[in-house]
Structure 1
């Protein structure tokens, strides 16, 4: 256009001559643009990474994750061809020098043979040696470091993150039913474009825009969140916990890492160091995209049931050996629960320095109870990147403080901000999700339904400012109390975000005693005390029963299901406990707490506090202690899923350190003992790629001073039929006590690595697990009642046979072999106790089960 305007001032002859010359030039070098979608003719699904070329040239492109493509070049092209492995190629005529849309359907290439020709000889076996495809992938692997952001001293980029969930294949007739007429505004908001052939009903959406800054040495990453927005379901869900859980399931995918974490499982990357051992690679084709020449490389697992991907990547034919595009999917035979389909599509763009950086990552997963086409849940996480800058330094002070900083107004950005900041526009259905869910949660019928579901699943019934529960503790039974009824509840943030109260009352019909609990909490940071980071002061009093040595996590001790126990279970305690605690968590996941406890322990059931010099009529006294404590905990990058009753840490790859020191003060509030108790633990999950993962915990403790056996370390035992990860599952309650100990606990899940190769187990999708627990401990003479008659004697059974012991030079060891993923929900372990088998009422073998939920 500028050229024509300049020519307008020339004389007529020159103008005509120039126009003729220009037209002749355009005829010789026309720009042809073809856009469209590639579709599977049999399933109507889009075909990602299909090859599209101008016939007779090497100029081409590939379809994206939606099957869409754009092919443009200068030249007189009259035909375009599409090919994809396993499909018949298609060629269509086009008009040169124009922009046109061509939608092509590819049919599966299933040829019918009229005759069978049998030839001698064997098919050549796949080998890594002298395989050009393997040589190519080894070059990609050796150049991984230089093709990552970490290769630079400094780097920065802008990230747009969108996560959405939809109900898939929900019948359109649902909205026509009378009972759902009031929800028609929600049910009619369908998306039929994202997945051709499927109707999606969006129900969750969250977006985030942030700037990321990276420094190589010392390594540090700084993330500044400029805006974030998500669907809010109100009080019925912990929105922060839900977001963390969904983002963990749909983790960011780095193909240059050895392992890719998805859906609570680890997949080996096709560019991992050991990839040639587990994958087979095949050269596919070559393409020219823009000025870049690419080599297509197909890859499939050697074993179709392993946690591996299959797909195709395009690698640059230059010294970078960089991935320009990659498509990842999973084999239906893989041992993955609920996931009917999973696809990852990534695109990389060349920056000004010649390197290829990730420009877009799309993760799609379709969940369902059955593998068929029934209803399910479709989730998609899209990440896009732009404004890459390298080697632009920032000061050291810039990287100090929190790794992630959220702008003060990030949650309150106006619509204009999102229109300008989104890297892509929302679909018509997505754009209505926020308003639709806001309208839904205001409907009385929806609130009633969610209240009922919350009570059934979480055990609490909400009455606004106060909620009653948990329901699984309303009724239980045990040998001391007999039939036990309990009723309790707690206040909610609707009453106050500063002040919280919790209480319950229980009555045992056998011992005819009331038990109760009352606590009051003040939130210093004016946030819910059930959310991270906690910062509160709590005072409480509890009068209740307890089993010595039973320490449970995330479960109430009077849970009805725990009423069923094996063996003899008649030694209990009546406890009166006054406590005051201060807890302070920091954003870097370091926390500390201070506490004071006055604890009165009285024996219950068959338990007695007797010295060797006491006669049979001497009443059992009450052990009273006053104890100060301090505890520190550091859990780098820890995440939580917040439930109604407790906060569950999401186990990651980072270790968790805990150190606790407690001191008893004699004479304070009738306390009878001076002692100091130091304990510490380290726990970590080790990911072993295709061999699964191991949870390892090391723990130790030492008690200084002289104390009776109720104040010794009573090792965690389990006499229920549930498998408890942190207890000794074949140890009896109060069987072992120590004043110094060290333990190691290793629980390993092979994630189906071996079972996947056994036909029946492969079909059942069972997963193998093993564990071993070892406890070494002892008792100094000053705390041994056999050497110090002034101490309470260890408990005995009705015949006077000791039932409580101390560990000798031999550690207590138990091991188990288990089958996980039984009916997709259960793990069943066969547990073997390896020593101390001469103790009374012990079990050498046991079968234990626990409920799990894994993908």
Structure 2
């Protein structure tokens, strides 16, 4: 190692000593048995700083102020007092002795009618206190009885400022990592290495975004809120808006008084929950003054390992029984992928007995892609929010609150350094101050830009060359029975992440049918406010038309069924689809889109040797179909969140529902169109969190065609002849097995997130998760439609009884932290008397979930 490198590391070491006076990491053990003591208090009493040991007895505590006293306590053990000699100590070991039977744990009485007397709980196991005997229960019962409301929802009008800071760090940085060849040329970044105040791990800041918002709202005559970005400052990644939105989307808004708290779209049990005593142990410790308010300090920790719970301290106001402050930290045994630790600290201003206002929140995710082992490399994601400058008197005209905000200003509004120095409500740490400068330097290093570009290609599937994106690379290869091996190449224009127009196209070639296919479209958006846009496109391709009920009119889309590699038998039911589409759409209200499509389509069998779509028209049998149609669609996505505002947006994961209503009119005689018909379709789909029992995904589709039409215009209940899992299809149905002109379908699956398997002693170590599902379809087909059929498919609808499938799956299968595999076991419920039915099947899928 060079002298310069040694000097840099030495500088980092002395920086740690100068800017953090106390950093202690270690373990707490039982002096007699040597076993770790979980959920013990570790305190710097002079500084009123408290940490709690993990289930393995480990802890980390830090202070930027100097002190020389450390105290460790746990019910049933003697208090361990220690004089700090080495202020930086990452190998601290404390051994606690079991308390004698005649010792007591009596603390000072509060004088407010609830005694701070905690019964002795010996290190030698004794029954825990009954709920009503626990003094913490009396306090929490008062909290439940006076369940507080956010005061912002209880006043006619309000406004405040919100400061938000988002940060990404690389964690567990060590000297071996710094020496890797990949970092040659930009070793200077390691001068910013520091240690986390939450868990003591080393980290390197990699991304920082600061925003200041002005939030104004009214609650009468109706609730409306307007949030305007007043300032924004971001580190030097080109796609910083996407990065910032991704970090922000990892954190959900929570109400600590709710029984269940949403983290990563997974419900955790709140320590304030009315059923909290069934999953938490509570200890009333002492009283603490916070901002001049006397509070009870209640320590809580989970009764059982592996459940979706927290450990930490809550501080309850003695006068109003409101939560003044609370910190939440997950346990190491939780069954959440890619996440080692979740930490959150919330502070509130307590206005009176029934009202609180958010004051500050801080959240951190300790993430790891490959392994959840403590020493493995990973990422820290931080979010800090300050709420200040509350105003409950000023009111704008009611129309002001509903006025749409310029989408461009929600993404970027750069201000000077002087502005930030004056308006930032909290000072940046020394390492945060250097992030902007460091990343600007990194962007000048070609090797770093190549690494970033490689990551972008993996994420998007497109390789950028100037103003052109090559891709989608993940669609380059395919296979089906008609085309054989299929190769595809595509490209699109790309000038910026918020392009207002885009042209794209593809070419494909099948080695078995020896034919070229192609497609291209052009789209232009006139307004970023209401997203008014137009588009035109055409394609000539081989596709499986019966793969979904509510099909997209998009030119570039292609279903999984059109190119599935491993099938349960041969599939020759593919069609040659020549489609030209012109559309216009507008979003008059947020997340509500009106769309008008005009389609001209010519359909014929991809191979007439095996498949026919023939029908009788005016006494003549036709082998191909020509169809001209108009479609009007209304699509609502209430609560959906997007990054960017251009014609192609990136949607953030959320629990937003999708509702779609579409009416289609067949135009007989228009460009030789064969049929006049009216068709109406409805779609509803939504993920739903079900308390501590996991997450459901529900989809309902319904539709009706009012006139007799041939096979290519009918609604086939979507089958799945592959061994892959395709949501929205029926795994035990073949393509065109059920053909309808009116239908209702239900797809329901519930992901238990290990709620059952985590309770089985040996199985829970595998971190497997269970999923159950039900699929149902009912439909009919008119005699008029049957009478014109001359195809190779016999029209048969599930009108005798509701067709259904059911089954269960095991998901989260894998190794270490990589657990993407899901295996489903599917049973066909009825219609088993039909020829060649598949009564049972196994399907395999990949999914990347927390």
TM-score by structure 2 length?
A: 0.82
- How big is each residue's C-alpha offset from its partner over 1:86-117, in whole Å with a ceiling of 9 and x where there is no partner? 897577999xxxxxx99999976533679999
**1:549 alignment partner, one of 532, 542, 546:** 546
Query: Are residues 1:166 and 2:169 paired?
Result: yes
Give, in angstroms, the shift of residue 307 of structure 1. 1.1
Cα drift, residue 290 of structure 1: 5.8
Aligned counterpart for 1:817 among listed residues 808, 814, 825: 808
1:311 equivalenced with 2:312 (yes/no)? yes
Q: Residues 27 and 92 of structure 2 are in contact (CA less than 8 Å); yes or no, is this contact kept in structure 1?
A: no
Q: Give the secondary structure class of the aligned counterpart of 1:429.
A: helix
TM-aligned CA deviation for residue 687 of structure 1: 1.6
- Structure 2 distance, partners of 1:220, 1:114, is 58
1:342 paired with 2:342, answer: yes
Specify the alignment match of 2:140 in structure 1.
137
Q: Partner of 2:13 in structure 1?
A: none
Which residue does the alignment assign to 1:848?
Answer: 843
How far the C-alpha of 1:220 sits from its partner, in A, is 2.9
Offset from partner CA, 1:45-84 (integer Å, 9 cap, x none): xx99866667xxxxx944599744889xxxxxx9988555
- Among 630, 633, 658, the residue aligned to 1:631: 633
Structure 2 counterpart of 1:433: 435
Cα distance in 1, alignment partners of residues 139 and 436 from structure 2: 47
Q: 2:266 touches 2:695 (CA, 8 Å); kept in 1?
A: no
The 1:519/1:291 distance shift into structure 2, 3 A limit, reads closer
Provide closer, same or farther for how the CA distance between residues 112 and 745 of structure 1 changes in structure 2, counting only shifts above 3 A: same
Say whether the 8 Å CA contact 2:40–2:73 is kept in structure 1. Answer: no
CA distance in 1, matches of 2:98, 2:280: 31
* In structure 2, distance between residues paired with 1:583 and 1:545: 27
Q: 1:186 aligns with which of 185, 189, 199?
A: 189
Matched, 1:829 2:833: no
Deviations 1:621-673 (A, max 9, x none): 21001001111111112024789998664453443211111101110000010
Query: CA offset at residue 138 of structure 1?
Result: 2.0
Larger CA deviation: 667-676 vs 509-518: 509-518
Q: How does 1:320-359 map to 2 (within 5 A)?
A: 320-350=320-350, 357-359=357-359
Q: What's the TM-score once normalised by structure 1's chain length?
A: 0.82
Shift of 1:315: 0.9
How far did 1:722 drift?
A: 1.4
1:23 corresponds to: none
Partner of residue 485, structure 2? 483
Is the contact between residue 542 and residue 562 of structure 2 (CA under 8 Å) also seen in structure 1?
no
Contact preservation (8 Å) 2:285, 2:299: yes
In the alignment, what sits opposite 1:98? none
Question: Structure 1 residue 331: deviation in Å?
Answer: 1.4
Q: Secondary structure at the match of 1:488?
A: strand
Which residue is equivalent to 1:367? 367
Distance 2:587 2:41 in 1: 48
* 1:302 equivalenced with 2:303 (yes/no): yes
SS at match of 2:418: helix
Q: CA deviation at 1:821?
A: 1.1
Deviation of 1:406 (Å) = 7.8
Residue by residue, what CA displacement relative to the aligned partner does 1:564-590 show, whole Å, maximum 9, x if unpaired?
211231111111111111233356111
- Give, in angstroms, the shift of residue 682 of structure 1: 1.9
Q: Report which of the two structures shows the higher radius of gyration computed on alpha carbons.
A: 1
**2:149–2:356 contact (8 Å) kept in structure 1:** no
Q: Size of the alignment, in residue pairs? A: 778
TM superposition shift of 1:848: 1.3
Q: Could you give the per-residue CA deviations for residues 339-367 of structure 1, whole angstroms, max 9, x where no partner exists? A: 22222122334559996543221112222
1:539 is matched with which residue?
536
Distance 2:739 2:386 in 1: 57
Q: 2:237 aligns with which of 222, 233, 236?
A: 233
Q: Classify 1:346/1:388 alpha carbon distance in 2 versus 1 (closer, same or farther; 3 Å).
A: same
Equivalent residues in 2 for 1:273-312, closer than 5 Å: 273-289=274-290, 291-312=292-313
CA separation in 1, counterparts of 2:493 and 2:226? 38
1:419 is aligned, of 394, 397, 421, to 421
Distance 1:88 1:163, change over 3 A: farther
Q: Which moved more, 1:843-852 or 1:83-92?
A: 83-92
Q: Assess, with a 3 A threshold, how the Cα gap between structure 1 residues 48 and 643 changes in structure 2: closer, same or farther.
A: farther
Q: Is the 8 A contact 1:458 1:645 kept in 2?
A: no
CA distance in 2, matches of 1:114, 1:679: 71
Matched, 1:579 2:581: yes
Which residue pairs with 2:227 in the alignment?
Answer: 223
Given the alignment, which residue of 120, 127, 131 partners 1:128? Answer: 131
CA deviation digits over 1:159-190, x for unaligned, max 9? 21111011112223554566533212333332
Q: Does 1:110 align with 2:110?
A: no
**1:476 Cα deviation from its structure 2 partner:** 2.4
In 1: Cα distance, 2:536 partner to 2:502 partner: 11
**In the superposition, relative to structure 1, how do residues 105 and 154 fare at CA in structure 2: closer, same or farther (>3 Å)?**
farther
Change (3 A) 1:561 1:467: same
SS at match of 1:853: coil
**CA separation of 1:513/1:307 partners in 2, compared to 1, >3 Å: closer, same or farther?**
same
User: What SS does the corresponding residue of 1:163 show, helix, strand or coil?
Assistant: strand
Instruction: Name the CA distance, whole Å, in 2 between partners of 1:750 and 1:655.
Output: 20
- Aligned position for 1:8: none
1:780 is displaced (CA, Å) by 1.8
Shift of 1:475: 2.9
With over 3 angstroms needed to count, the CA separation of the structure-2 counterparts of 1:808 and 1:405, relative to structure 1, is: closer
Q: Does 1:695 align with 2:697?
A: yes
Residues 1:679 and 2:674 aligned together: no
User: Offset of 1:539 from its aligned partner?
Assistant: 1.1
Could you give the per-residue CA deviations for residues 594-616 of structure 1, whole angstroms, max 9, x where no partner exists? 1110110112331113458999x
CA 1:93–1:149: 2 relative to 1, 3 Å = farther
Pair 1:805-2:796 in alignment = yes
Distance 1:429 1:379 in 2: 15
Structure 1 gaps of 5+ residues are 1-34, 55-59, 72-77, 95-100, 797-801
Alignment deviations for residues 423-454 of structure 1 (CA, whole Å, 9 cap, x no partner):
21222222222333333334333333344444
Partner of 2:159: 156
**Structure 2 residue ranges without an equivalent (≥5):** 1-18, 29-38, 52-59, 103-121
Matched, 1:520 2:522: yes
Cα distance change, pair 713–213 in 1 and its aligned pair in 2 (3 A): same
Q: Distance in 2 between matches of 1:221 and 1:620?
A: 58
CA distance in 1, matches of 2:742, 2:249: 39
- In structure 2, what is the Cα distance between the partners aligned to 1:555 and 1:825? 25
SS of 1:110's equivalent?
Answer: strand
Structure 1 residues 538-617: aligned runs within 5 Å: 538-551=535-548, 556-557=558-559, 562-585=564-587, 588-605=590-607, 606-611=610-615
CA RMSD, 1 decimal: 4.0
Output the CA distance in 2 between the equivalents of 1:147 and 1:563: 54
- Say if 2:714 and 2:741, in contact at 8 Å, map to a contact too: yes
Q: Distance in 2 between matches of 1:244 and 1:193?
A: 23
Given that 2:693 and 2:753 are in contact with CA atoms closer than 8 Å, whether structure 1 keeps it comes out as yes
Q: What's the counterpart of residue 266 of structure 1?
A: 267
Rounded to whole Å, the distance in 1 between the matches of 2:493 and 2:473 is 16
Structure-2 change in CA distance of 1:838 and 1:244 (3 Å): farther
Q: C-alpha offsets along residues 474-518 of structure 1, whole Å, 9 cap, x if unaligned?
A: 332221122323222222226994543222222223222221112
Summarize the Cα distance change of 1:488–1:533 in structure 2 as closer, same or farther, 3 Å threshold.
Answer: farther
Which is worse superposed, 325-334 or 299-308?
Answer: 299-308
